[in-house]
Structure 1
Amino acid sequence: MKVSRFEDLVVWRESRILVGEIYRTFNASKDFGFKDQIQRAAVSVMNNITEGFKRQSNKEFIRFLYISRASCGEVRSMLYVAKDLKYIDITTFENLHGKALKISISIYNTHKINRELRS
């Protein structure tokens, strides 16, 4: 299947869902610094996938996938902080962390597949 738009990428669609869940989960948080940081990291995941895709260069796409994956790691790390500070319960943590981990793996697989197709 040929992907002609970033919206066709499953990993981008999964990232978009995670952004919505992160925003809804921390919407009422009074820790504005924390809330801002985790929301920005989540948005960075999907936006870097988009930016890399739109660069129309395999090398640039791969570079932005690395950045996106790092942002996904930041989201996962911040979820530990949220759990430790009791901003979220264990069920919410496991749900969001699991989704972020799945996205991270998908980003890696997208990079790997893209590299193999271009070799």
Structure 2
Amino acid sequence: MKCENLDVWKRGCQLSVLVYKYFANCKDYSFKDQITRASLSIPSNIAEGLEKESDKEKARYIEHAQGSAAELHTQTLIGAQIGYIDQQTAEQWKDETTQLAKMLNTLKKHMKQ
């Protein structure tokens, strides 16, 4: 797969694994489902997009991954405020989603060249 050599995809996968493990025993199934789906959507959209033929389609999936990173960032912030995520973990995840968004933006720009 084309995605497996990209740092942004690898980091997205790592973050998704962390989120899944962190919420493994969470009883709020709605919140758990939402935040884990957002985390999984980041690397999944990167992978799907890179397999598309046209640059326009690829960019669209990268934009979906960016949206999922923003969604995860927001859910992390809220999760910390309601006591589901400890502050240190929340800061790490927010920093990582910010970095992923920047990396995705760079990737999208390279596709348009």
Give the Cα–Cα distance (whole angstroms) in 2 for the partners of residues 56 and 47 of structure 1: 17
Aligned-CA RMSD value: 1.0
| Corresponding residue number in structure 2 for 1:58 | 55
Of residues 82, 85, 98 in structure 2, which corresponds to 1:85?
Answer: 82
Deviation at 1:56, TM superposition (A): 2.2
Of residues 94, 98, 102 in structure 1, which corresponds to 2:99?
Answer: 102
How big is each residue's C-alpha offset from its partner over 1:22-74, in whole Å with a ceiling of 9 and x where there is no partner?
Answer: 11111111110000000001111111111110112211000110111001100
Please give the secondary structure, in 2, of the residue aligned with 1:79.
Answer: helix
Matched AA of 1:111: K
Give the Cα–Cα distance (whole angstroms) in 1 for the partners of residues 95 and 24 of structure 2: 20
| Corresponding residue number in structure 1 for 2:31 | 34
Q: Which runs of 5+ in 2 are unaligned?
A: none
Please give the secondary structure, in 2, of the residue aligned with 1:28.
Answer: coil
Q: Which runs of 5+ in 1 are unaligned?
A: none
TM-score normalized by structure 1?
0.91
Deviation at 1:12, TM superposition (A): 0.6
Of residues 13, 18, 27 in structure 2, which corresponds to 1:21?
Answer: 18
Matched AA of 1:74: E
Q: Which has the larger radius of gyration?
A: 1
Deviation at 1:99, TM superposition (A): 0.9
Give the Cα–Cα distance (whole angstroms) in 1 for the partners of residues 79 and 68 of structure 2: 16
Deviation at 1:112, TM superposition (A): 0.9
How big is each residue's C-alpha offset from its partner over 1:61-98, in whole Å with a ceiling of 9 and x where there is no partner?
Answer: 00110111001100000001110111111101101111
Aligned residues: 113
